[in-house]
Amino acid sequence: MHWSHSTFWLLWLAGALAAGLFEIATVDFVFLMFAGGALITSAAAALHAPVPLQVIIFAAASTALLFTVRPPLRRWAHNTPVTPMNVAALVGREARVIETVTDKSGYVKLAGEVWTARTTVELGTLEPGSDVHVVGIDGATALVAPTPAPPAPNTLEGRSTP
């Protein structure tokens, strides 16, 4: 037996690793199926399967994985909820004005940090201490709008009529 025949399983393992790295770059679950086929073929090569049989096993295993495992995996990935991250996670949060905010400048305390801020339209000024909500982020500036005041309590509710 030639030395290369005893190391084919390592070549298939290296191929699986390479396909896995390509999958990380593409995230389409195609190269992941090829990596699975290469891993299965690596096991066959370790059991001293002939090279033509290894190629057939790789093709069959990769094809089977592409048509059976990939579709449900893609459905699962597309149904995973998107979690806003970084500055996108700040949109919709409440903030407190710490220096008068106009349509040109101002400062708010948002998520424990001081942010430059401005209103989205000419609303006049938002005074320090008032609550606002973030409607967008423009670079390092929070775009804010006043938080609507809670509805006034209905004084007629809860009263019994004589």
The Cα–Cα gap between 146 and 51 comes to 71
Which residues contact residue 85 at a Cβ distance below 8 angstroms, ignoring those fewer than 6 apart? none
Same domain flag for 98 and 138: yes
Q: If you search the block for the tokens 């086929």, which residue do you land on?
A: 37
Half-sphere exposure of 3 (CA within 13 A, CB side): 0
Same domain flag for 90 and 28: no
For residue 162, pLDDT over 60 is answered with: no
Residue 5: pLDDT band (50, 70, 90) is low
| Amino acid 18: pLDDT | 96
pTM beyond 0.75, yes or no: no
Structural domain includes residue 156: no
**Predicted confidence (pLDDT) per residue in 143-158, tens digit:** 999 887 566 566 555 5
Mean pLDDT of the chain: 87
Structural domain includes residue 153: no
Structural domain includes residue 162: no
For residue 160, pLDDT over 90 is answered with: no
The Cα–Cα gap between 155 and 162 comes to 16
DSSP lists the bridge partners of residue 137 as: 142
Q: Which domain holds residue 108?
A: 86-146
**Predicted confidence (pLDDT) per residue in 90-133, tens digit:** 999 999 999 999 988 999 999 899 999 999 877 778 889 999 99
Structural domain includes residue 32: yes
Who wins on pLDDT, 50 or 153? 50
Indicate the number of domains in the chain: 2
Axis crossing angle, helix 8-26 with helix 51-68, rounded to the nearest 10 = 30
| Amino acid 87: pLDDT | 84
| Amino acid 151: pLDDT | 63
| Amino acid 156: pLDDT | 53
CATH number for 128: 2.40.50.140
**Predicted confidence (pLDDT) per residue in 19-31, tens digit:** 999 999 998 999 9
